[in-house]
Every structure is written in structure tokens, then in C-alpha cells.
Amino acid sequence: MKYDTYNQICAKTIIVNGPAGSGKTRMVEDIMRFSEDMGYDWFMSAFSRTAAENIDEAVTIHSACSSLLLSMIVATGQSLSFVDENLIYEKCAEMCRFNPDAFDWKGTSGGILKKDFDKTRFMLSIRVWDRLVHEHIGDACVLNDVTLHREPRMERIRDLFNILGRESGASSLTYMKYEQRGGRLKRSKKANHPLTFEQFIHDVVEYETWKHENMFLDYTDIVLNAYAFGLTPDADVIIIDESQDLTYLNARIVWNWSRKSSVKRVYICGDENQALYNFIGGSADYFRNWATSNRPVTCDVIYRYGDNILRDAMTFLKCTGSVYGYENIITAGQEDEVITAHGRNGLRQVLETYSKKERGNATILALTNYQVNDVDKYLKQHGVECGDSMTFHASKGRTVPNSIPIDDIPASWVKRSRRDIASLASLGYVGHTRAQSTQIKVSGFFTGTDRYGGRGYHNLERICRSAA
């Protein structure tokens, strides 16, 4: 299904918001994994929050992003300012045939170089180029070939240049020129010199050529490459995490890609307390009107602990066009292989029940460290030598990939696959969705939950299954 207008793709949009720490990202991850189980394709972001401070880091980060962008759909939002303006201009000094030691900066960022008017013009040209890329990302393929002087693409760039001049006002495309008079560098009597298209193209071509020869990459390269790669893959679901940090540019990349792909649903996940969705010039209400329900799905801290995770995930799945009820998930596995441990006492009963049967090893996954410590103590009391433990905390979902080996446990309960164990650890929240002995199948696992000590839903995960 192709989308030809913004309205069509936005009609498929759901907004997920909430305060910091409310579980928005966890909800998004749950949606992705539920979608994967149901046969949808999903792709995680390739963009990171890292801002490199030197050229080598910029090249390294860009190379990593390029390889991942082949299967990337959504940027996490934060602008990738790999190098600051001063560093760019300093590295371009050789190209401009100036001695960087002679630079006289006015301010520390974006200052005007007073000692050479060509440098001032060059700075203006690069800033105009950057703005063209930002504001006309739809012409990224045209902009990407600027150094080739291809026709009619060069005419299109001229049109964009002229449009920018008209929209910004004549004074925005002028620079201050300095002249040598009386042995001193003085401002020209004609203070504002217009930047012509020919000068602009000359500076940009020189800059792009220098970057290529010196393996130098800046944010514009990230944008142009991201746009080109982003058009390649198809996906059923787009998830925009940390959307409050989206820049106008990255938002345009997402929208433009969405319109050209077979996306069925777009999820926008962000923190409303951080001026949600103001990145593109609209208010939160404006984006809510774009959403299918005309209102956002709001997360709070209860999402991490309570029984609303599965409910919310099912709601999202239904919105994508496929309805999978709770019963369908449960009956998808082999229930006769399920061991459910409810709290510490429940785990003890399980161990006592199976400890005298077939020998083997098992991995116990616990929600909190104090539960694992209690298990260690219990096992030692029963003469079982314990190894390291695996835990993940309810509030963050972090995983420590270790295990507790237990003797005298049936081999059929041993989980051998690393991938499945990792999936269970990362999907622990989905397993905490029901109280009172409810079993839920999550990526091949069944889990049980129990209310413990009035501190929310806790559970000691069941002993992992599968043949040794």
C-alpha cells in the first residue's frame, strides 16, 4: 500500500507520550516484538545520540550508521552534529589556501573571520548549502549530485537557491567584504555583497571535493546518505522513539520515506513534558488530530509493573489491522511443558517437586536482586551449589546475562538457546501483565505472575524449557 499524501500516512499514526521514566520506550519495544511474533517486519533505529568531537570519530560513526541504515527506518531524533562549525572551517583552511594560525575569530561558534573576505563568503555558502539540505530534503538526490554539474539537476539547485533567497530576504544571502586600504584590512564601503549562484556553487563544489579527498564527513553527508538508504527497505511498522528530540530535518526524512513505502502504521513515542512534537512547528494538539484516535496513548509508571502492558500491546496490534486475542497467544505453545512459579514460596515448591527427578541444569530468571539472593540462600540450604544469577530490574529492564545451575532438574526444562533466553529477559515486562497464576506465552516462554508485598507485580520466572 502506497501513501501519496501526508494525510494518508498521518491517518495511520498513533502518538505515545508520557513523562520521563514512564515506560514509553518499553511500550514501543513491546509493540515491536508483538509485531514480529505476528509476522510484521520491524527495524530499530540506526542513529545514536553520540556527537563526535573529531574527524576520526565522525567517520567511524558515519560508517557504522551507513551499514545499519540499509535496514533502518526511523531515526531516534536527536540531531547528529558530528563536528562543530569552527572545526569544519578550520579543516577547510588548506582548501581555502589560508593559514589557520592567522584566523581571527569573533566568538567561539559561527564567528566571522575578519581577515579574509573569501573566507566569509565561503562560510555563508556552506550555511546556505546546509539550509538547502535541511529545507528541501525531498530534493536530496538532486543535492547529492551537486559536484557532478548534471543538467537539469543544476537548474533545480538554482531554483532552490533562488527560492531560499526570496523566502529569507535579500539580506540573508549577502556577506561582508573586507579590503586592504592604507596597509590595513578595512570593511568595504559596500558592506553587504550579494552571494551569487555561481559563487555559491563554486564554494560548495570546492568544499565537497575537499571532503571527498580528505575523507571528511559532516552532518549534511549523514542526511543525504540516510535519505538515500532509507528509501530502500520496506516495513509494516515505523516507530519513532524519543520524538520530542526530532529535528525538523529528521522528521522530514521520516515523512518522506513513509510516503514512499508500504508502511501500515506509524508510532510516535515521546515525552510531552519536553515540548512534544514542537519539532516540526506544530503543537501537541495538532499532532493528536493526526492520530487515528485523535488522542495520544499516555504512559505512566504503572505501565512497567501493572497488568496493562498486554492490554496496550494488543490495542496496538489491533490498530495495525490484525486482532490476536489473549487466548491465541496462550494456546500457541505447549502448555504441558509449563512450570509456573508464584513468588519465592512458589519457586521453592517447584524446586522441591522436580529436584528428585531427571538430572539436568536449569536457568532461573528473577525480577529483582533480592529474589535471586533468596533463591541462592534456599538452594544452598538444600545442598545445591549456585552459580551466578540473571536478573532484570522492573524499572529499567536491564539484563545481567548469567545463570544459576541447579542439579537434579529434568533436562527437558533446560533452556539452551541464548537467543530465547535473551528474548525472555528483554520481554520480562510482557510476562508481568496478569495477576493470580495467569500464564502468558512470550516468544516461546510461559511465565506466571503474582502480587508480592504490595510492591507491584513480581514474579520469579519459570524454569526454562526445551530439550538439552
Tell me the torsion sign for CA atoms 340, 342, 343, 349. negative
Q: 3-state SS of 49-108?
A: CCCCCCHHHHHHHHHHHHHHHCCCCCCCCCCCCCCCHHHHHHHCCCCCCCCHHHCCCCCC
- Count of domains observed in the chain: 3
The two beta strands, 450-451 and 457-458, are antiparallel
Burial (Cβ within 10 Å: 0-12, 13-18, ≥19) of residue 459: buried
pLDDT for 167 equals 64
Mean pLDDT of the chain: 47
Residues 252 and 208 reside in one and the same domain: no
Determine the Cα angle at 26 with ends 252 and 325, to 5°: 100
Q: Are 354 and 407 in contact (CB under 8 A)?
A: no
Q: Is the pLDDT of residue 100 over 70?
A: no
pLDDT for 11 equals 47
In a domain, 3, yes or no: no
In a domain, 1, yes or no: no
pLDDT for 319 equals 46
Instruction: Decide which of 77 and 202 is more confident.
Output: 202
Q: Is the pLDDT of residue 99 over 50?
A: no
Give me the sheet containing 297-298, strands edge to edge.
Answer: 237-240, 265-270, 13-17, 297-298
Q: Is the pLDDT of residue 12 over 50?
A: yes
CB atoms within 10 A of CB 390: 20
Residues 314 and 461 reside in one and the same domain: yes
Q: Is the pLDDT of residue 158 over 60?
A: yes
Share of the chain above pLDDT 70, in %: 11
Name the β-bridge partners of 181.
184
Q: Which domain holds residue 45?
A: 13-74+226-299
- CATH number of the domain residue 385 falls in: 3.40.50.300
Burial (Cβ within 10 Å: 0-12, 13-18, ≥19) of residue 19: middle
- Stretch 250-276: mean pLDDT: 58
- AA identity, residue 8: Q
- AA identity, residue 37: D
pLDDT for 251 equals 54
In a domain, 253, yes or no: yes
Name the β-bridge partners of 297.
16
Indicate the DSSP class of residue 274: G
Q: For residue 161, name the pLDDT band (cuts at 50, 70, 90).
A: confident
Name the β-bridge partners of 268.
15, 240
Q: Are 298 and 17 in contact (CB under 8 A)?
A: yes
Residues 196 and 170 reside in one and the same domain: yes
pLDDT per position as a tens digit, 371-402: 456 556 666 666 655 554 443 333 222 233 33
Q: Is the pLDDT of residue 21 over 50?
A: yes
* Residue 231 in grid coordinates: 528509501
Residues in Cβ contact with 356 at an 8 Å cutoff, skipping those fewer than 6 apart: 408
Q: Is the pLDDT of residue 196 over 80?
A: yes
Residues 323 and 373 reside in one and the same domain: yes
Q: For residue 214, name the pLDDT band (cuts at 50, 70, 90).
A: low
In a domain, 428, yes or no: yes
Residues 311 and 252 reside in one and the same domain: no
Cell 528509501 belongs to 231
Q: Is the pLDDT of residue 420 over 50?
A: no
Indicate the DSSP class of residue 358: S
Residues 141 and 207 reside in one and the same domain: yes
- Stretch 429-455: mean pLDDT: 25
In a domain, 79, yes or no: no
Q: Please, what is the angle between helix 55-69 and helix 219-230, to 10°?
A: 10
In a domain, 283, yes or no: yes
Q: Is the pLDDT of residue 92 over 50?
A: no
- Stretch 231-246: mean pLDDT: 54
Residues 106 and 183 reside in one and the same domain: yes
Tell which of 187, 217, 247 closes a domain: 217
- Stretch 211-217: mean pLDDT: 57
Residues 230 and 253 reside in one and the same domain: yes
pTM of the model: 0.36
pLDDT for 283 equals 46
User: What is the distance between the alpha carbons of residues 187 and 48, in angstroms, rounded to a whole number?
Assistant: 44
In a domain, 6, yes or no: no
Residues 31 and 145 reside in one and the same domain: no
Residues 160 and 267 reside in one and the same domain: no
pLDDT for 24 equals 72
Residues 375 and 452 reside in one and the same domain: yes
- Stretch 140-150: mean pLDDT: 53
* Residue 337 in grid coordinates: 511443558
Residues 456 and 321 reside in one and the same domain: yes
Residues in Cβ contact with 337 at an 8 Å cutoff, skipping those fewer than 6 apart: 412, 413, 446, 465
In a domain, 266, yes or no: yes
Radius of gyration of the chain (CA): 29
- Stretch 405-410: mean pLDDT: 34
pLDDT for 332 equals 30
Instruction: Decide which of 461 and 283 is more confident.
Output: 283
Worst-scoring range by mean pLDDT, 24-38, 121-135, 259-273, 445-459?
A: 445-459
Tell which of 275, 299, 323 closes a domain: 299
User: What count of Cα atoms within 13 Å lies in the side-chain half-sphere of residue 143?
Assistant: 25
Question: Rounded to 5 degrees, what are φ and ψ at 239?
Answer: -120, 120
